[in-house]
A and B are shown apart, each in its own frame.
Chain A
Amino acid sequence: MTTSGELAHHRHPGDPLPPLRDRVEATLHNVELRGALRVMATRFNDAREVAISAPGIAAMKERGTAIRAAGVQDLRANLARAEVSLRGLGVQVHHAGTGAEAAELIADLAEARGVRRAVKSKSMATEEIDLNYHLEQRGIHVVETDLGEWIIQKASERPSHIIAPAVHKTRPQITQLFSDLAGGDLPDEREELCAFAQQQLRGEFLTADLGISGANFVCADTGTIVLVTNEGNGRLTTSLPRVHVALVPVEKVLAHFADLATMVPLLIRHATGQQLTSYVTMIHGPRRDGELDGPDEVHVVFLDAGRTALLGTPFESMLRCIRCGACLNVCPVYGTIGGHAYGGVYPGPMGAVLTPLLSGLDEGSELPGATSLCGACSAVCPVGIPLADLLVELRAAVASHAPRRTRRAFFALWSRAWSSPVLYRWSARAANRARRWPRLARRLPVARAWGEGRDLPAPVPETFHDWWRRDRSAAR
């Protein structure tokens, strides 16, 4: 049996993954996790509700949707323009077709520049390509510097929420973890724990030769790299080391610098419910002559990894996603099982759509089925992605991708039977008799997995057809 602790463990792409059923089962028994998820949902949802009820935000959402839809539609042209703008600023631009290529490329680049130590600011794209592992394989010391990411890196775990990666860790667990690192007991107090992390990480910043970040946006017209952060580690990562590498999924490109006036507040209000985060940093190439800080080299690695293949498909709108995490926070499924049960890097509704699209229908094929289709995700999405519709589309795609013979035969048989009045009546009567066997659902041989945790609705004592016939003969 899988435990939720094992599930939290870092896994590399291609590592075997326990079946979804076991993953869900494991998390359902973790009482602490479920408590933390409840706190998180309340905190984020309350803050977001306030932030997006301000005047003008509905219009901002419409503008943001239009900006992202147009940006994705012209993705190839925007990418080409972004590359020209970035090069004009002295940024070295690279393209990676796959995650493995991107990881190789960054590791080669680091090695060629004699990099021994790297610091990272939070980036889901680097999680997607398992960058830390690849750099460590080359003997490069890599440190996550976002507090939550550092906690889970030290615990050899993976993020369970795209903007609150360590939401599944309790304070006593963190105290224990940090005490082990400190080689002595640390007080079980938040301020002390933060101070310990800050002091440890300050040393890492001052000795690192490479800073690795993602990007929230890149502007095609100006080559601006935008980072939205709260702790300040993003500023340190892009200011202190001599080389900065930004791993940028291709869909992060915006057509215009002016779009930031809409996109930055829209993202933040939906992500944390703030008006603006503590820091919004905009980078335009390496340090200039006479500047005391900033890297000597800035590299942008554009990551495709299955993204441009979605252009022109029914799933193109998924490329609008700005990773605010609002759909996770409102999702009843995510709120019950948490992020790790999804198995991939991206959890929640956006993950249930994106994971099968990026890693193939085999890898994430169960995820679109593990959703309630309640539509809360579609309603909250700041850029109008019809997530629930995409989940339905994906279910259809999964079904036609890997048709299951028994299931198909069953439904074919059912369809045939219920097309015949005689067989329909017979089956209704049979179902009616079944009420004599309580908890029948979990005893059915084929549907045992489905019946676990469910009961069939209690049938009325008499079928409608029987009643109708009796009633009419009585009237006569």
Chain B
Amino acid sequence: MTDPPPAEGGLAARFADELTAADGTPHVGAEAVTVALAVAGAPPTTVAVDDDPALEPLADALAAAGHTVRRPQDPTYRADLVDAALGVTRCAAAIADTGTLMLVFDPAHPRSTSLLPRVHLAVVHDADLVGSLGEALARVPTPPPSALTFVTGPSRSADIEQILTLGVHGPARVHVVLPAHAG
């Protein structure tokens, strides 16, 4: 008897497969900066980036490439977001079973960054990856944040002719940068 083989590719690979099935785009082992530059489109566009230490290099690179980069500490952040081409966030957890991002909101991580722009890019680190929804729920901080959202792929609707259309109110495209060799 041999032990059953470990799930192929581990959590990051499972996350990537499930995200693809949910019409999102995974970028396994890619540089977050490279992906951000690719999905922001030709400069100059407005890009919103959450106030997160891990996202600083990315914000700098986008600004250097000629994009208008907005941060939550900017007084006009909310208004600028309405016309932003891209919103970039981290996540509090990433659920491999379903390709789901758990976004926990606070002053540095506003709700709108992942909601108002047409494209959402999330950067997932090794330690963010969990297997199931239950494991992610166990990571919700105490006291709980004013809001958190589980995001599985882009916004969708089948209200016209019962055929799927992406990007009805929320982002039409969701890109996720995943670590290459995560457990």
Residues of A within 8 A of B (CB): 36, 39-40, 43, 89, 145-148, 151, 164-167, 169-171, 174, 190-191, 193-194, 197-198, 201-202, 206, 222, 224, 230-233, 235-236, 238-240, 257-258, 260-261, 264-265, 274-294
15 contacts between A and B (CB under 8 A): A169-B160, A170-B161, A190-B161, A190-B163, A230-B156, A232-B155, A260-B137, A261-B134, A274-B22, A278-B153, A281-B149, A282-B148, A288-B145, A292-B72, A292-B107
The answer for the CA separation of A222 and B143 in the assembled complex, in Å, is: 9
| List of B residues within 8 angstroms of A202 by Cβ | 82, 169
The answer for the CA separation of A257 and B148 in the assembled complex, in Å, is: 14
What residue in chain A is nearest B142 (Cβ atoms)? A222
A232 touches B147 (CB 8 A): no
Q: Residue B25 at the A interface, CB < 8 A?
A: no
| List of B residues within 8 angstroms of A257 by Cβ | 137, 140
Known: A194-B165, A222-B144, A265-B133. A279 touches B149 (CB 8 A): yes
What is the total of A-B residue contacts with beta carbons within 8 Å? 166
A236 touches B147 (CB 8 A): no
Expressed in whole angstroms, the minimum distance between the Cβ of B181 and any Cβ of chain A is 25
B152 touches A276 (CB 8 A): yes
Expressed in whole angstroms, the minimum distance between the Cβ of A92 and any Cβ of chain B is 15
8 A Cβ contacts from B92-123 to A: 97-98, 100, 105-107, 110-112, 115
Expressed in whole angstroms, the minimum distance between the Cβ of A206 and any Cβ of chain B is 7
Known: A190-B163, A288-B146. A278 touches B72 (CB 8 A): no
What residue in chain B is nearest A236 (Cβ atoms)? B169
The 6 closest A-B pairs by CB, nearest first: A232-B170, A148-B159, A290-B107, A261-B134, A232-B169, A147-B159
Residues of B within 8 A of A (CB): 18, 22, 72, 77-78, 82, 97-98, 100, 105-107, 110-112, 115, 132-134, 137, 140, 143-163, 165, 167-171
The answer for the CA separation of A236 and B82 in the assembled complex, in Å, is: 12
What residue in chain B is nearest A122 (Cβ atoms)? B159
A285 touches B146 (CB 8 A): yes
Partner among B110, B133, B134, B157 whose Cβ is within 8 Å of the Cβ of A230: B157
Expressed in whole angstroms, the minimum distance between the Cβ of A60 and any Cβ of chain B is 11
The answer for the CA separation of A287 and B105 in the assembled complex, in Å, is: 10
| List of A residues within 8 angstroms of B97 by Cβ | 275
| List of A residues within 8 angstroms of B151 by Cβ | 278-279
Expressed in whole angstroms, the minimum distance between the Cβ of A34 and any Cβ of chain B is 14
| List of B residues within 8 angstroms of A190 by Cβ | 160-161, 163, 165
The answer for the CA separation of A238 and B22 in the assembled complex, in Å, is: 24
B159 touches A151 (CB 8 A): yes
Expressed in whole angstroms, the minimum distance between the Cβ of A255 and any Cβ of chain B is 15
B146 touches A286 (CB 8 A): yes
| List of B residues within 8 angstroms of A278 by Cβ | 22, 151-156, 170
Partner among B98, B140, B162 whose Cβ is within 8 Å of the Cβ of A36: B162
